[in-house]
């Protein structure tokens, strides 16, 4: 009886102050909806960062470096990089671990990439084409970042095994270099013609007539090296700071 009377009194109070109660109810509902939206945003952002970092940026769940290699590899790559024996031992340890999905080899580097008329800095990551394919088609990537995993034009490294010096470059870098076409869009009989004068009126058309670029960088031995590259595909990094400078290359080419 006491509880019945309490509920009766509470209902009478609600009916007595209808406007105030309606306003309070709306405020509670809006606050609850805001919390749900905020929670969804945080969850979605966390998934985006986690999946893109681990798979599309190829950071992985576990990264193995030689002692002090993370700090000094860029300065002394020969001394602080993993040699063939190091890699063999790591593969032996990891290959039978059921917790490991797959293992990839990576080599990072920086340098200058040019189109015959100008050069810009690049940051490159070399990897085995199969590793790039597996990362882009991983179930988590397909579920969370399907659009970001797709290249914007052309083919991936795994789809271009016969292209010498195959590269994938970020959209911004391709734009800076004036390379609006990828390898598959260039006629097979198209001859590469060096640009003798970069001040001619149709220089943009000449730059876009092929997918060839030149890369220059320091070697592990401390020397200077240069080689040609062929843009087979373009992609977005999803990170504005990297959009104008990123290259993905075959591990052997790197």
Average pLDDT over residues 50-66: 90
Q: Which residues pair with 247 in a beta bridge?
A: 124, 169
Going by pLDDT thresholds of 50, 70 and 90, the confidence category of residue 4 is: low
Ranges assigned E (strand) in 4-43: none
144 with 51: CB under 8 angstroms?
A: yes
Query: What is the rounded distance in angstroms from the CA atom of residue 129 to the CA atom of residue 236?
Result: 18
User: For residue 3, what pLDDT is reported?
Assistant: 58
What pLDDT does residue 166 have? 96
More confident residue, 3 or 152: 152
Report the pLDDT value the prediction gives residue 1, as an integer from 0 to 100. 54
Residues contacting residue 243 through CB under 8 Å, at least 6 positions apart = 170, 171, 172, 173, 236, 237
pLDDT higher than 80, residue 44: yes
Please tell me the pTM assigned to this model. Answer: 0.81
Q: Give the tens place of pLDDT for each residue, 81-115.
A: 899 999 999 999 998 889 888 899 999 889 999 99
Q: Are 158 and 128 spatial neighbours (Cβ–Cβ below 8 Å)?
A: no
- Residue 2 binned pLDDT confidence (cut-offs 50, 70, 90): low
Q: What are 181-227's pLDDT values in tens digits?
A: 999 999 888 777 788 888 898 899 989 999 999 999 988 777 889 99
For residue 7, how many C-alpha atoms fall within 13 Å in the half-sphere facing its CB? 3
Q: What integer pLDDT is reported at residue 230 of this predicted model?
A: 96
Asked if pLDDT for residue 177 goes beyond 90, the answer is yes
């Amino acid at each position: 009886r006491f509880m019945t009377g309490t509920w009766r009194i509470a209902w009478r109070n609600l009916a007595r102050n209808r406007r105030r109660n309606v306003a309070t109810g709306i405020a509670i509902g809006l606050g609850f909806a805001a919390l749900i939206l905020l929670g969804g945003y945080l969850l979605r952002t966390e998934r985006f960062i986690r999946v893109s970092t681990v798979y599309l940026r190829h950071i992985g769940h576990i990264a193995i470096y030689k002692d002090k290699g993370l700090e000094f590899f860029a300065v002394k790559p020969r001394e602080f990089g993993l040699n063939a024996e190091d890699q063999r031992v790591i593969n032996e340890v990891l290959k039978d671990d059921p917790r490991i999905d797959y293992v990839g080899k990576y080599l990072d580097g920086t340098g200058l990439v040019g189109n015959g008329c100008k050069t810009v800095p690049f940051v490159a990551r070399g990897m085995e084409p199969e590793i790039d394919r597996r990362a882009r088609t991983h179930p988590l990537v397909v579920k969370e970042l399907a659009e970001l995993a797709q290249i914007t034009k052309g083919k991936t490294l795994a789809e271009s095994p016969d292209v010498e010096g195959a590269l994938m470059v970020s959209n911004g870098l391709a734009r800076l270099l004036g390379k609006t076409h990828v390898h598959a869009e260039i006629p097979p009989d198209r001859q590469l013609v060096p640009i003798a004068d970069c001040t001619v009126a149709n220089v943009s058309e000449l730059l876009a007539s092929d997918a060839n670029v030149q890369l220059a960088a320091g070697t592990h031995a401390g020397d200077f090296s240069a080689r040609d590259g062929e843009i087979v595909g373009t992609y977005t990094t999803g990170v504005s700071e990297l959009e104008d400078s990123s290259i993905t290359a075959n591990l052997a080419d790197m």
